[in-house]
């Protein structure tokens, strides 16, 4: 790699010291040739500073927003640099990563829908040891840079969809699909990824005895970001106290919403945690961080609400993956006659409507998510041409549970396109 992935720092002058600390923690990655850092201090004497900033803001592959009260108050940082960065992010031209330097109200900002750093959105200045915060940030930036570097090979101009009809699980590849070259122009991905091991009520955390839901969500999140057929337009990872009913609902509503020009967009919702059945009407809800296990409608998200979001969305393909007890109940809530002919809708539920979803200490994952990751992330579901399709992944997961009567995944796929997940 001759130059490396270019990183642009968007920051307020008052945060220069924190910027320097972050650069120090990125030094080793820079020396390896993976990244090339740029900010306004790199402007040569005599150069027109605004033109130089615009030039690098328009060419950088990663743009770091160093968020603080001064950043939010700066007209230049907020209205010019940040807004231009978000434009490029939305078009898939750059990856924008907000980094919280100091406490400030940021959730209503245009970048508020993006995953922020450090972990759990705790500002750097609130960490007991700031070096831990910078290490956390540097590690994640390195992952993103590696993903961009690995995906930088030239792409064909064809989208990764063929128009062959494959509506039913288990259908064979059509002749048209076999002749498709599965070109890999990367299409926009919007996703909400949730993993909940613990709850605001400690008694429920002990009762739930979940160990790996958060790990499962993190692995799915990483798989999406490392995709060679998608680019992450809007991907949120919600765990622990960030995974409240309100936050999850807001993010789902933001992702699965009617929009224009969604003909190639993929939308995905992943949940790992507890499925809770209401004793009143037997409806099933997904338990959020603030769930009430006695009354799941309080602090839980009903499966029929998720179905309604799916049907309202205008994306070319909507995918829901749920690793939770009773998750198969969601298929009963889908109104098939309301699915538009041009839309692909896929539901991956870890078990039947009356079954429990299990974890494995040996695998250190939920059993269902482990199979999903093996097929998708590890490539075991690859079919013709080394491609992993939505249908191929469904077949792989189903066959993996062929001899396990205790947990039988429920999978529903409806649509007229072949959706490529990996190449």
Whole-angstrom Cα distance, residue 194 to residue 214? 8
Predicted confidence at residue 183, as pLDDT, reads: 42
In a shared domain, residues 120 and 178? no
155 assigned to some structural domain: no
Domain membership of residue 62 as a residue range: 5-150
pLDDT for position 416: 66
Our count of domains for the chain comes to 2
- Residue 185 is predicted with a pLDDT of 57
Those residues of the chain that have pLDDT short of 70 are 1-2, 41-49, 150-185, 259-263, 416
- Its pTM surpasses 0.75: no
Same domain, 253 and 118: no
Do 202 and 284 fall within a single domain? yes
Q: Decide if 156 is inside a domain.
A: no
Same domain, 176 and 120: no
Closest-CA residue to 423 (of 192, 172, 150): 150
Instruction: Report in angstroms the alpha-carbon separations of 114 from 99, 198, 327.
Output: 11, 23, 27
Query: Can you spell out the DSSP letters for 387-423?
Result: -EEHHHHHHHHHHHTTT-TT---EEEEE-SSEEEEE-
Give the end of a domain, one of 150, 170, 204. 150
- Given 125, 150, 175, the domain boundary residue is 150
pLDDT, residue 125, reads 95
pLDDT for residue 280:
80
Which CATH number fits the domain that encloses residue 235? 3.40.50.1460
Q: Based on the domain organization, do 245 and 278 belong to the same domain? A: yes
CATH of the domain at 126: 3.40.50.10140
Same domain, 214 and 308: yes
Are 396 and 292 members of one domain? yes
On whether residue 292 sits in a domain, the answer given is: yes
Whether 43 contacts 49, CB under 8 Å = yes
């Amino acid at each position: 790699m001759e130059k490396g992935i270019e990183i642009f720092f968007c920051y307020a002058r008052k945060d220069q010291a924190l910027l320097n600390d972050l650069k120090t923690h990125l030094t080793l990655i820079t020396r390896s040739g993976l990244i090339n850092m740029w900010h306004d201090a790199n402007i040569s004497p005599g150069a027109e500073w605004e033109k130089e900033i615009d030039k690098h803001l328009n060419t950088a592959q990663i743009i770091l927003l160093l968020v603080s009260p001064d950043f939010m108050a700066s007209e230049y940082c907020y209205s010019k640099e940040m807004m231009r960065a978000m434009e490029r992010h939305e078009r898939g031209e750059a990856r924008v990563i907000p980094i919280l330097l100091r406490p400030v109200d940021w959730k209503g900002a245009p970048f508020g829908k993006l995953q922020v750093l450090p972990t759990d959105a705790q500002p750097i200045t609130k960490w007991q040891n700031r070096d831990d915060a910078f290490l956390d940030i540097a590690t994640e930036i390195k992952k993103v840079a590696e993903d961009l570097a690995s995906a930088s090979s030239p792409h064909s101009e064809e989208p990764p969809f063929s128009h062959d009809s494959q509506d039913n699980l288990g259908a064979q590849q059509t002749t048209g699909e076999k002749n498709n070259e599965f070109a890999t122009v990367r299409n926009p991905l919007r996703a909400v990824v949730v993993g909940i091991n613990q709850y605001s009520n400690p008694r429920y955390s002990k009762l739930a005895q979940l160990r790996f839901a958060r790990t499962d969500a993190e692995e799915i999140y990483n798989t999406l970001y490392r995709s060679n057929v998608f680019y992450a337009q809007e991907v949120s990872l919600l765990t622990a106290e960030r995974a409240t009913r309100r936050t999850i609902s807001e993010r789902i509503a933001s992702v699965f919403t009617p929009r224009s020009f969604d003909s190639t967009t993929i939308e995905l919702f992943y949940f790992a945690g507890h499925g809770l059945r209401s004793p009143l009407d037997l409806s099933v809800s997904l338990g959020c961080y603030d769930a009430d296990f006695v009354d799941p409608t309080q602090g839980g998200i009903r499966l029929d609400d998720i179905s309604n979001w799916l049907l309202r969305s205008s994306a070319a393909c909507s995918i829901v993956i749920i690793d939770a007890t009773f998750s198969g109940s969601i298929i009963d809530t889908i109104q098939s006659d309301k699915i538009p002919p041009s839309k692909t809708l896929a539901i991956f539920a870890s078990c039947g409507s009356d079954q429990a979803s299990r974890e494995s200490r040996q695998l250190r994952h939920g059993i269902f998510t482990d199979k999903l990751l093996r097929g998708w992330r590890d490539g075991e579901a690859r079919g013709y041409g080394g491609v992993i399709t939505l249908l191929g992944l469904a077949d792989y997961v189903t066959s993996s549970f062929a001899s396990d009567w205790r947990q039988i995944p429920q999978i529903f796929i409806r649509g007229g396109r072949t959706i490529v997940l990996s190449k």
